[in-house]
Chains A and B, each alone.
Chain A
Amino acid sequence: MTRPVLLSALLLAGIAATGAGNGAWAQSSGGARALAPGVKVEVAPAPGSGSAPAAGKVDETALRYYARIGDGERLEAEIARLRALDPGWEPPKDLFAPQPTTPGVDETPFWNLLSAGKVAEARAAIAEQRRKSPSWQPSDKLLQELDTAESAGRIRSASDTRRWQEVVDAAAAHPEAVACNRLDNAWRLAEAYAELKQADRAFDTYRTIVSTCPKAKERRDTIFKASRYLSPDQLRELTALGATANPAKGEDYSTVRTAEAELETGRLLERLGAASSGAKPGALSAADLSRIQGIVRDKQDADGAIALGWYFQKQKNFAEAQSWFSQANGWAPSDKSAEGLVLAYNGLGEKAQARAAAAPWKGKSSRIDQALKAVDPPRGAGGGRSGPQGPSELDRALARQDFAECLSIIRSSIAKSGPTAALLQQRGWCLLEMKRPSEAEAAFAEAQAMAAREPAKGGQSAGAGGRTPAAAGLPQKATAAQENAYGQAVARLATGDTVGLTRDLPRANMTPAQKAEIRASLMATEANRALEDKRYNDVLRLLDARKELTPEPRNLGILRGWALYNLMRFDEAYAQFKSVDDRLSTEESREGVTITWKTIYHDW
C-alpha cells in the first residue's frame, strides 16, 4: 500500500490539485500522482462527493470521511486543500466526535434487519438509502456490526467448505468475528490453522480462548474441540490455563479441570477398541484398564461395557468378557450386547446359557443368528467336514469376527470341494462385514441360484419354512432362500439402492422379522436423506415409525436431535442430545449439547 510520505509533499500535492481550479478535482485523471519513483499518493473522492460543492460553502464531506476512517494522511491533505480554497476556513472542532447522522435518516430499520440476521437485506436497504440521500453516511457502529456479521458468515462458509486460508484471512480482516461472543468462529479459526499445519498458531488461538473467554463452559468445550489437534502435553497446558487464567467472578472452573480426564477416558476407550479389533491386545496397561472399568461402571455405560467385553473376548478371557456383556445387557438390552454374551458363553462352553442369551433376539437379529452359528454350527458349513462336537475353523473365525479369514477359509473350501449355497451365503455375510456390499450382493445372488439347483437339505428344506408344531408362536425361522434374499437386501442397503429396495421389499421372500429389520434400516437411511434435504418433519416421522419396529441407536438419536434443532424445538433438541451424551459423551453428542445450549441462551 502507500508508504509514509512527507506531509509537505502531501500538502503540495493537495495544493497542486486545487491549482486546477476545478470543483471536481478529485475525479480528474490526475488523482493518482507520482511524487517520486515508486511513491504514489491516491487522492480519492469521498463517497457522495461527486458533485461540486455549492459556491461559497466549503464541502467538508471528504474531510469528515477521512476523519471517520482515521486516515490521517489524507485528512491533512484535505485540510490543506480546503484552506487553499478558502484561506479563512478553519477545520471543524468536532471532526473526531461521533458522526451525527443525517437528519431525516433513521437507522432503526437497518438495525432491525441486522438483528433479525438479515444482513444482506440491511446492506440493500442502506445502499438504497444512500442512493436517495448521497450525503448520508451510515454510522460507524452500524457498518462495523455489518462487517462483523458478514465476516462471521464468511468464516463459517469458508470453513464448511474447507477453504482454510480464507478462514484465516477473513478472521484477520475482522478479528471481532472470532471474539468470545462468537466462540464457534474462534474454534473454526483454530481448526483452520491446524489444517494449514500451523500448529503453533492453532495452539495460540485455543490458548487465547481458554484464557480470555470468561465462561467455564466455553473453556471446557474449547478443550474438547482442541483435543482433535493438540498433543496431550499441549492439552494439559491448555487445561491448566483454562482452570486458572483470568477467572471471572462466580464461575466455577472445576469442570474445566475434569475435561482433560474425560478426554483421557475417551482416548482409553478408543485404544481399547483398537486393542480389541487390531493386532496388539497388550497395548493397554493394567492401570489404564482398571481406570476404564471404573469409569464405565460409574457411568453405567453400556457401549463402554460392550467394548470391554470384546477386549476380553479377544484375549480369550471369556469369563471376564461374559461379565461385561451381561453388565451391558443389564444396563441397556440390545442385540449387540446379547451377541457378545452368546459368544462369551460359547467360549466358556456353556452352550445352554448361550442359547438362552440369544433367545430374545433369535430370528429377529442377524447378529444373533450369526452368533448362534458358532454355538450350533449348521451342517454343511465349512465343507461338511466338521465333527458335531466342536466348531469348525470357519465358525471359529466368525466368532473371532475375523472376516478376512472367513473369506480365505471359504475360498480354500470351495477350491477343495466346490461351492455350496451355504458357503456362498456365508461369503456374502463376510463381504458385507468387510464393507464390500456390491460383491456381497453378487454372492447372495449366486447362493440363491445355487440353492435353487441344490436338493433340499436336512430339516431346512427351501420353502418348507419351520413346520414343526413347536414353531407355532415362535419367530419364523428363515429358510435358506429367505436368508439369501435378506442378505441381498442388506447388501443393497449398503450400496445405497434404497429406491429399488423399497420397491421390491413387499414382494421379497423374507420372514416378517427380516422384512421389519430391512424396513427399519430403510427408514434410517431415508431419515438421513430427509435431514440432508432439510425436511425435518419427515426426519421425525421416519424415526418415530422406525422406533415402533426397533430401539433407536445412538447415531439416530443424534439425528433426531438435529431435526428437532432445525425445527427450532430447541428445548426438546437439548433434552435429546443430553440423554445421548449422558449415556456416552463423544464429540458428536457434545457438539449437539453445546450448540443447542448456546442457541437457547443466545450465547454465541
Chain B
Amino acid sequence: MTVSRRDLLIGSAALGLAAALPGNLRAAPFDGAAWRRYAERFLLPEGRIVDTGNKGISHSEGQGYGMLLAVAAGDRAAFDRLWGWTQRMLMVRGDGLAAWRWTPDGGVTDRNNASDGDMLIAWALLRAAEVWQTEAYRTAAAGIVKALASGLLVEQAGLTVLLPGRDGFRKGETLVLNPSYWIFPAIRAFAALPGGERWGKLSDAGLVLLSKARFGGFQLPPDWMTLDAAGTVGIADGFKKQYGYDAVRVPLYLAWDGYRDPYYFRPFADLVAKFGGTAVPATVSLPGGTTTQVAASVGMLAVYRLACRLAGAGDAVTVPPLAPDEDYYSTTLAHLSALAAQSLGIDP
C-alpha cells in the first residue's frame, strides 16, 4: 500500500481519491500476518499486552483482547503466555476475577475488577477450549463466569444488568453501567454454559437498554450511563458525558453476535453520514452534540464501516491501513472488526 493514512484523511477529496485508486482499499482482514505484527508491537515476551496509548500499562481488557486474537490466529504459545501472565499478575483478588490494571512501576495499584476484561478473558478461554480441545481452559472460563454471575450480575427495574466493577458503581438506588460492557457474543457463550440462564437475560436487557439509551441528535449511546430503580436511563455524572472510545464498541459487539437489525446500527451510520467525506470525530458530547477535533482512529473507522453496512448505509466508510505507529486500542478495534465481519460471512 503506497498511500499513507494522512493522504486519505485530509478531507473531501479523500473519498474521490480512494475510489480512483487502483486496488482495494478495504479494511484489512485478520490473518496470521496481522497477528504477527500485532504481537510484535504489543505483546511482551512475559505475556502482557501493552496499552501504548496509555503510558505502557496493561489491563484485563488488553489481556482478553490479546487472548481472543491469539486464538483466532491459532497461536497457542502466545495464548498460554498471555493467560499465564494474566493469572500470575492480575488474578490476585482471590475471588476469581482479575484486577483491572497493572502498571510497570507499581504492579496492581487498583484491585477493582473491570467486568468487560473478565468477560473477554473467559470468552477467549472458551474459544481456546474449543479450538485446542483443552478442558483446563473451559474449567478456568467457567470459574470466571461463575464469579462474574455471583458478583456482577444484578437485577434492576426488571432487567438483568452487569455492573462494570465490584466496587463503586451504585449511587444510592441508581446503577452506573457501561453499554460497551455488553459483549454480546461472549454473553451468548456464557448463556450456553450449564446454569447460564441469567446470561441470556443479560443479552435481552442489553438490547432494551441500547434502545433506551439514545441521546442527542444522533441518538448515540453514552460511554457511561445510569439506570434508576424505575428503569429510566440517563447519562452518568462523574464521567465525560459523551459517546466515544468506550461506546464505539457497541455496534461491534452487536454485529459480532449476529444482530442485523438496522435500527441498532443507524445512529452510528448517521454520525458517519454527517461527517461523510471528512474525518468522523472521535467523541460526541451528549446530549449536546459537540464534537471533538480529534478524528476517529483507524480502528474506530473499521467499526463504523461494519455498522454502516448493517444499517443499510452501504460502504460509506473507507478504512485507511493501520499506520506503523497505530496505537494498541485502534489496532485492536481494527482486528476485532475484521473478526466480526468474517464471522458474519462478509469481507471486512
Residues in A lying within 8 Å of B, measured CB to CB: 24, 27-34, 37-38, 40, 42-48, 50-51, 65, 119-121, 123-124, 126-128, 130-131, 134, 154, 158, 161, 163, 166, 169, 534
Contacts and interface: CB of A to CB of B under 8 A. Distances in A.
A34 B312 contact: no
B208 A120 contact: yes
B19 A32 contact: yes
A253 to B, nearest CB: 39
Contact of A46 (B214, B257, B261, B312): B312
Nearest to A533: B173
A585 to B, nearest CB: 32
B222 to A, nearest CB: 14
B260 to A, nearest CB: 6
Nearest to B231: A120
B259 interface: yes
Interface string B71-90: 00000000000000000000
B275 to A, nearest CB: 14
Contacts of B19: 32-34, 40
Interface string B246-268: 00000000000111111110000
Nearest to A146: B263
Interface of B is mostly: loop
A42 B344 CA distance: 21
Contacts of A65: 312
A271 to B, nearest CB: 39
A124 B204 contact: yes
Given A33-B19, A34-B20, A124 B208 contact: yes
Interface of B: 15-16, 19-20, 24-26, 204, 207-209, 211-212, 214, 216-217, 219, 230, 257-264, 287-288, 309-310, 312-316, 318, 344-347
Which 5 residue pairs across A and B have the least CB separation, nearest first? A124-B207, A31-B315, A44-B314, A42-B314, A120-B211
Contacts of A45: 309, 312, 314
Nearest to B317: A32
A29 B347 contact: yes
23 contacts: A27-B309, A28-B26, A29-B315, A29-B347, A34-B20, A40-B19, A42-B313, A43-B314, A44-B314, A45-B312, A50-B260, A50-B346, A120-B209, A120-B212, A123-B263, A123-B264, A124-B204, A126-B263, A127-B263, A128-B204, A128-B207, A130-B259, A154-B214
Given A32-B315, A121-B208, A131-B260, A166 B346 contact: no
Nearest to B258: A131
Given A29-B25, A131-B259, A124 B313 contact: no
Given A37-B16, A44-B312, A120-B208, A27 B260 contact: no
A27 B346 contact: yes
Contacts of A163: 287-288
Contact of A127 (B216, B261, B312, B347): B261
A523 B257 CA distance: 53
Contact of A50 (B214, B263, B316, B344): B344
Given A27-B347, A127-B207, A40 B217 contact: no
Given A30-B315, A32-B19, A42-B314, 16 more contacts: A24-B346, A32-B316, A34-B15, A42-B313, A43-B314, A47-B261, A47-B262, A48-B260, A119-B211, A124-B204, A124-B208, A127-B261, A127-B264, A134-B260, A154-B219, A166-B216
A42 B259 contact: no
A27 B211 CA distance: 27
Given A37-B16, A47-B262, A124-B208, A534 B230 contact: yes
A75 to B, nearest CB: 14
B287 to A, nearest CB: 6
B312 A47 contact: yes
A29 B212 contact: no
Contact of A161 (B20, B261, B287): B287
Contacts of A38: 16
B257 A166 contact: no
A379 B124 CA distance: 88
Nearest to B213: A120
Contacts of A47: 260-262, 310, 312
Contacts of A40: 15, 19
Given A29-B24, A48-B260, A50-B346, A123 B316 contact: no
Nearest to A1: B273
Contacts of A534: 230
A38 B20 CA distance: 12
A119 B214 CA distance: 13
Most chain A CB atoms below 10 A, which of B20, B26, B312, B316: B312
Contacts of B219: 154
A166 B217 contact: yes
A130 B257 CA distance: 12
Contacts of A128: 204, 207
Contacts of B316: 32, 42
Nearest to A161: B287
Nearest to A26: B314
B164 to A, nearest CB: 21
B36 to A, nearest CB: 24
Contacts of B259: 127, 130-131
B194 to A, nearest CB: 22
- Interface centre among B204, B288, B309, by most chain A C-beta atoms within 10 angstroms, is B309
A51 B264 contact: no
Contacts of A31: 314-315
Given A50-B344, A131-B259, A123 B207 contact: yes
Interface centre among B230, B315, B347 (most CB of A within 10 A): B315
Contacts of B261: 47, 123, 126-127, 130-131
A154 B264 CA distance: 16
A166 B345 contact: no
Contacts of A161: 287
A28 to B, nearest CB: 7
